[in-house]
Amino acid sequence: MAIGRSTRRGKGSQAAGAAAEPPEEVTDTGATTAADADGAVDQLVYGLDDRPPLPAALLAAVQHLLAIFVGIVTPTLILAGPLGLDAATTTYLVSMSLVVSGVATFIQVRRFGPVGSGLLSIQGTSFAFLGPLGAAGAALGGGTAALGTLFGMTFVGSFLQMALSRVMHLLKRVITPIVTGTVVTLIGLSLIGSGMTDAAGGAAAEDFGSLRNLGLAGLVLATIVLVNRASNRFLRMSAIVIGLVVGYVVAAVMGMVDLSGVGDAPVFSVPIPFRYGFDFDLALFIPIAFIFLISAVETTGDLTATSMVSGQPVKGPTYIRRIKGGVLGDGVNSALAAVLNSFPNTTFSQNNGVIQLTGMASRFVGMILAGMLVLVGLFPIIPAVVTAIPRPVLGGATIVLFGTVAAAGIKIISTSDDKLDRRDVLILAVSLALGLGVRLVPDALSGLPTTAATIFSSPITTGGLAALVLNLVLPRSDGTHGMRPREGGGATA
């Protein structure tokens, strides 16, 4: 339901239910037209620069919070398992993820000089880095001792993304939908094993694979699927939250929830820069650097969709400035995240649906949301409760999330300018085969030097590099390489 009344063009309240479904992820900026943006303006109650009444803005901010809360805290919860982190450390990292998300959102929304898009674009912990970070943490032996190296590598990698923000128009000529889609698909497929492990109870569970664990995970998964098919758009966007809450309650009734850590949680979480030290490993850094490259392109798609639903230009100098500022903001915010002991941040696409749901694209809402995230993070009672989520409950949700990531990669591939031809199918086939191959048979690399084996053991690195190289060297039927130039010029960003 739309909130409040409009001061734009003399229009009153409009039902957000009349708005179109949330736009598909845009990876090719040429696919979104000025007509689409004009149509989005007609759906808005409050535009980007409007200042809605405080009650309406607070309600809209809460809806954004519900849409992103699980997405922000889940990556940390997932990594805590293979890293073997205790409850106190996990609670602190979850708190910091919320604090960083709030500060990063404020930077992205408010825009400081060239940093930030100036749109209602919410920042949160990125799922894309889970595979490389989990593998790196395992190689480092896990525990808090590994965190200093993980944060050190993401800190260095964030500067790569900052540099890429200045050459997005060139990057998109190389990182095409077939490359991006292949990498995103591999990210999702490589993480499904982690989701299944949690669904069975977690790697260290004594009752691993028990009917109780699998049944609880199945309940969460079924709840998410059923709610996602509801006719109410707000319910659909809250499907993951509802599934986790249902699973949490049932698990508590079954005696599977340990809340002892809640009473031990401190009253206030103090952000301590580089609390776990700072270190760097070049071999482990390569896969992480590659994800920063892909993340920069994906952010372009997210911001294009946000511009469209906010009634802002999707081409021209203002649009280009927003894209470059948004990608630069991702890099700056990821560096900030590393300093404050959290994992890389990126733009969240699900908030575009909330903008349409509420009819409010005002950046004022984003600033309120940023304050909410910081407050929730600084007082760790809620993070402590979240940390107590049983592994089967988390696994039931992450199976859906990771499967959705893989499906999104396939969707990105389908957005290519041309239908998939033999060349594209060959790139996809070879890249997926190599990426999944090193994941399924890691010993196949045992004869390589240690550094090379470490680098190419990542399915994202092996499959992504294969897609990138093949896309550059294999000619199209018209003799060109990579992406075909658009009529009247190249990429717009």
Burial group, residue 477, by CB count within 10 angstroms (0-12, 13-18, 19+): exposed
Cβ atoms within 10 Å, residue 206: 7
**pTM for the full model?**
0.77
CA dist 100 and 188 (Å) reads: 24
Per this entry, what is the length of the chain? Answer: 493
CA dist 373 and 295 (Å) reads: 23
Return the closest-CA partner of residue 270 out of 149, 73, 95. Answer: 95
Residue 194: predicted pLDDT: 86
**What average pLDDT values come out for the chain (493 residues) when binned by 10 residues?**
38 33 37 49 80 90 85 90 90 95 96 94 89 90 94 96 87 80 88 90 88 96 92 81 92 90 81 95 91 86 86 87 94 97 90 82 94 93 88 92 86 74 91 94 89 85 90 77 46 38
Residue 482: predicted pLDDT: 58
| Contact partners, residue 220, CB within 8 Å, separation at least 6 | 243, 244, 246, 247, 392, 393, 395, 396, 397
Can you tell me whether residue 83 is helix, strand or coil?
helix
Both tokens of 486, joined, read 């658009």
